[in-house]
Amino acid sequence: MIVLLLIAAGASALVFQARYDSERDARHRSLAAAEAFAHAPGIAAALLSADPTARLQPLAEAARQGSGVDFIAVMNIQGIRYTDSRPELIGRRATGDLSRAVAGHAFTETFRGEPSDAVRAVVPIRNADGVVVGLVGTGIEVENVSQVVEGQLPLLLGAAAGALLLGTSGAALVSGRLRRQTRGLGAAEMSRINEHHEAVLHAVREGVVIIDAEQRLVLANDEARRLLGLPPDPENRHVTDLGLDPRTAELLASGRVVTDHVHLAGDRLLAVNVRPTKEYRGMSTGSVVTLRDSTELAALSGRAEVARGRLQLLYDAGVRIGTTLDVVRTAEELSEVAVPRFADFVTVELLEPVLHGEEPSMITGVYTEMRRAAITGVRADSPLQPVGDIIRFVVPTAPMAAALDAGQAVLAADLRAAMGWRAQDAQGTRVALDYGLHSLISVPLQARGVVLGMANFWRAADTPEPFDEEDRSFAAELGARAAVSIDNARRFTREHAVAVTLQRSLLPRVLPAQNAVDVAYRYLPAKAGVGGDWFDVIPLPGGRVALVVGDVVGHGVHAAATMGRLRTAVHNFSTLDLPPDELLGHLDELIDRIDQNDTGGGPAGGDEEGAAEEVMDGAAEPAGVTGATCLYAVYDPVSGRCRMASAGHPGPALVRPGGDVEFPELPAGLPLGVGGMPFEAAEFTLPEGSRLVLFTDGLVEDRDRDFDTGLHLLREALAQPGRSPDQACSDVLAAMLFPVPSDDIALLIADTRRLEADRIAEWEVPGEASAVSRVRNAGAAQLAAWGLDEISFTTELILSELITNAIRYGSAPVRVRLLRDRTLICEVSDGSSTSPHLRYAATTDEGGRGLFLVAQYADRWGTRYTDRGKVIWAELPLTGGPEPPVADPLDLDALEDLAW
């Protein structure tokens, strides 16, 4: 109401002030307009003219509009109007008292009367002699003055309403806040609350101290006085004057933030918390200190610390045990993690089958023999049997035997009283007791209900406290966790051994004999599991050799088995003597069919059986072969040409005779099994003495080394001339082998050779039958020069058949080549792609026995296709052997008429 009255009074005052100001402004404007018009040049002369109205009315109207007044009236001294804003008033006398103006005085007044109420000014008009000759009256009607004030009323009322709203809102907010802070309580209730506050403050079992910014004590409850031993009247005294020890006084006066700080005050352990109070007007108001007596918790804190250490030890055991999947190393990790935080010495014994990755016996009962796999102690000198010894448990009452029999941890708190343990090995136990061993916990290592071994935790003189029941429970938990890791390592060892055995049985054990290259190889399985890397050296007809290296993605038995399938497929396709790109194409198609059969994507009717087999095998999903890579290279020692193609595999390294190392560019090919794109081959001419290095990506790439860095290191390792392939293999692995390879490594180094020119004989055969005998005779002469007279007859027979059929059924050009290598190789080439077939001729047939004779006399024979025809080849041993029996002596000239 007070605010409302104040606003109403202020609004009324503003209205009256606005009305007063508007009226005063109207007087000033009217007087100014009248003075200006009265003193305007020519006004006096116009009044004395014959028609003053005609001359003054336009001037007066223009002046009225310019000055903003409501009327300008020019009158004579009798008050008769010559001009007026209302033409009907011209000629009429103006009302009101004009005497002051006639007397020569200008004045303003609020006129009320006819024709309207107005605020007007009357100014005399003087001639040149200063005589008043007329009057000028100007004014603003009172109605227009009121309208100005009324126009300001909305603003004034709005401002008043806003002020009223703000005032009432502020009052309501203040009232509401007061009600919230006091919760609607009156003075009596507030006094009661204060009494309760005082009672609680001094009754709590936690000391409360308030210190101001000047480090003076403001408040201390009864518990704080008791804990700190404060004097009777400590308020308003500096903390250094309270008789506290310097450390306590410094802590209270520091003002720093402290949380649960354990502070020794006299014979008490106090948990201290210090917090600064909130700032007030930018100034710190001090700090609040709470004190809690924790003397009774000191004993419990030690036990809590021990429990915290045990939990941390279990966590460390979970992290450190079982990192390598090696049985012995896992046992060592168990012994290492428990020393010295739990025991002074730890020994781990395992069953013999477990050490070799085999399945331990499921028969329950007492195990009498184990082999010590690990021992760790706080000192190097140990009274216990070393690693590798056989540990026997022959006394049933000994802690080890009792633990194995019961299947749970057994505690021997005092070894001097453990008669069974002492009876097991009287001499050894005497040495152990003299050394200081005094307490033991034996824990059987069991996984899946099967005993794997035994862990023994010993305490010596370094830890005088013996083991207790809590320690036994902890040791059992630690042993259970370690047993799972040991069992995982055992199972991995078994699978790894099976995979390694399978893989080594599938890889070549002895490289075949051939003269094209001098080969050395290395194969290293990954530590994390056997993979699918493989290599091969395959002799081809014509003294050529195929060098193969490949990689199957993945590890384990499946990868090894897949590798064996691919290697067999490469061998089979190589017998067709296909170019490298075509061979990889056939291999890719074969893998597609294998994938379809393995994943159940084959023809209808085979899905159910395949799915059933997968369910029986327990496989989560069928495993395909997709992801294999292969590099296939064919080297010809006669021409020195090397043709190779890659299916997603890294290209080879080429070491020139001078030691320069380069990595030839090969057309990029997709991995096998991806399909969709043909493979391309690249061909190079290799100088004699060049070195080809084929490898898998495991040699150059790993998690800690990228492929380009690996190639750079390989280039440096190979750029050392004068080494044999075997020495080069050893040096490369020494320079590039990872400490723990994550993938298999296959390395194949081949030094190329050339077949000497004196071991090669070639003839161009004209397309006429008479040329057969000439070439045959030339071949016989060449065999005599080579000292191969023993096989001359067989060679002439084969040459006759092959040349005759090439002339008869092939097309030009026909060429013959003899190669003296490990065997004698006879090659007849022509421009036709017609493939010959071996068949059995009937007794009535006149021909058809030619290839049959070739197959009988040659060790091997076959056909390979070239870019412009084919080559029929046959291999014969360099020494004459038993020849197939024939009924009559053969006429070689007559054999020329035999057909294919």
- What pLDDT shows up at residue 153? 67
Which of these ranges, 170-174, 268-272, 295-299, has the smallest mean pLDDT?
295-299
Segment 217-255, tens digit of pLDDT: 888 888 888 888 888 888 888 888 888 888 888 888 887
Whether 160 shows a pLDDT value over 90: the answer reads: no
Rounded average pLDDT over 766-773: 84
CA–CA distance, 464 with 454 (Å, rounded to integer): 24
Whether 689 shows a pLDDT value over 80: the answer reads: yes
Mark 682-717 as b/e (b = at least 16 C-beta within 10 Å). bebebeeebbbbbbbbbbbbbeeeeeeebbeebeeb
Q: Is residue 203 classed exposed, middle or buried when 0-12, 13-18 and 19+ CB atoms within 10 A define those classes?
A: exposed
Whether 858 shows a pLDDT value over 80: the answer reads: yes
Residue 721 C-beta-side C-alpha neighbours within 13 Å:
9
CA–CA distance, 420 with 398 (Å, rounded to integer): 4
Segment 39-74, tens digit of pLDDT: 888 888 888 888 888 888 888 888 888 887 888 888
Q: How confident is the model at residue 860 (pLDDT cuts 50, 70, 90)?
A: confident
- What pLDDT shows up at residue 794? 87
Rounded average pLDDT over 573-584: 91
Contact predicate 83/60, CB 8 Å: yes
Rounded average pLDDT over 804-812: 85
Looking at per-residue confidence, does 329 or 50 come out higher?
Answer: 329
- What pLDDT shows up at residue 183? 67
The length of the chain in residues reads 900
- What pLDDT shows up at residue 33? 82
- What pLDDT shows up at residue 614? 40
Q: How confident is the model at residue 374 (pLDDT cuts 50, 70, 90)?
A: very high
Rounded average pLDDT over 310-339: 86
- What pLDDT shows up at residue 620? 43
Rounded average pLDDT over 818-840: 83
Whether 88 shows a pLDDT value over 90: the answer reads: no
Looking at per-residue confidence, does 697 or 895 come out higher?
Answer: 697
Q: How confident is the model at residue 818 (pLDDT cuts 50, 70, 90)?
A: very high
CA–CA distance, 407 with 518 (Å, rounded to integer): 61
CB contact set of 390 (below 8 Å; sequence gap of 6+): 369, 370, 371, 372
Q: Give whichever of 39-53, 520-534, 663-677, 778-792 has the largest mean pLDDT.
A: 778-792
Is the bond preceding residue 813 a cis peptide, omega within 30 degrees? yes
* Residue-averaged pLDDT of the chain: 81
- What pLDDT shows up at residue 152? 64
pTM for this one? 0.53
- The rounded radius of gyration (Å) of the Cα atoms in the chain is 59
Which of these ranges, 121-130, 512-521, 564-573, 834-843, has the smallest mean pLDDT?
834-843
